[in-house]
Amino acid sequence: MTRTSHEWDPDRYLSYADERGRPFVELLARVGAEAPPRVVDLGCGPGNLTRLLAQRWPQAHVLGLDTSPQMVEKARQVEGIDARVADIVAWAKTHGDPVDVLISNAALQWVPGHLELLPALVGRLAPGGWFAMQVPGNFDEPSHTIRRELAAEPAFAPHTQGVAVPSSHDPGVYLRALQEQGCTVDAWETTYLHVLPGERASDPDPVFTWVSGTGARPTLQALPEGVRERFEAEFKRRLRQAYPDQGYGVVLPFRRVFAVAHTPA
């Protein structure tokens, strides 16, 4: 069974906020809604990107939902959005007012079996509504494989078994799943080459800073004091080897998977 009792840190998550925000902007650009009354952001995080929804559609009621009370507390400070604590699966399966634009940016990868949830999400849309999703597709990269290998070592495995880990599918899988719901679908992938500050910067371990705010956070929080420090030290060492600074900063390749679905009017 997957354990999900970790807590998110909005400030840590907002490290490299510009880089994290680029996929959201690219996703939003493919949504053709003109004046939607109801807009929902599933997995709104600290609300820094949900703000863009309120700016694009100022007449809309923009609702941001997240399972993390810490994230929602931060999002409530953002003007123009209504932020609430809610579970994606429970919300998808609850009857409510139809939604005109439903966006989920870098959240569904944390929902086990989220592919089977897509019909329920599309079912929350009004006729002519839009569903837009983006998930990481980089789980075969060293930033993830190193964490998995290290977490499986005897010194750490007793603490990390069952810890929540993200997962996703290729664009074609989402394309077919959403087409089966009667949607017109646009699906694609983009690999960003994020150039992070290198060894001479104030943060000597920028890739660790990145992953410790997202994919690696549940694993790190599962480790007790003393054990966590040993894990982090070795994790940082291996990440520095996998992502060396060649004198121009540290390059972090990051594949993202997108899908935008439009329901019949």
pLDDT in tens, 107-161: 999 999 999 999 999 999 999 999 999 999 999 999 999 999 999 999 999 999 9
Query: Within 10 A of 13 (CB to CB), how many other CB atoms are there?
Result: 22
Chain centroid, CA 159 distance in Å: 24
Report the b/e string of 219-254 with b at 16+ CB within 10 A.
Answer: bbbbbeeeebeebbeebbebbbeebebeeebbbbeb
Per-residue pLDDT for 8 more than 60? Answer: no
At 7, is the pLDDT very low, low, confident or very high (cuts 50, 70, 90)?
low
Q: Residue 19: its pLDDT value, please?
A: 78
Q: What is the pTM of this model?
A: 0.90
Multiple choice CATH, 10-262, 3.40.50.1000, 1.20.140.90, 3.40.50.300, 3.40.50.150 = 3.40.50.150
CA distance 50 to 103: 9
What's the length of the chain?
265
pLDDT at 215: 81
Flag whether pLDDT at 229 surpasses 70.
yes
Strand ranges of the sheet holding 38-42, from the earlier edge strand across to the other edge: 82-85, 61-66, 38-42, 99-105, 125-136, 250-262, 184-196
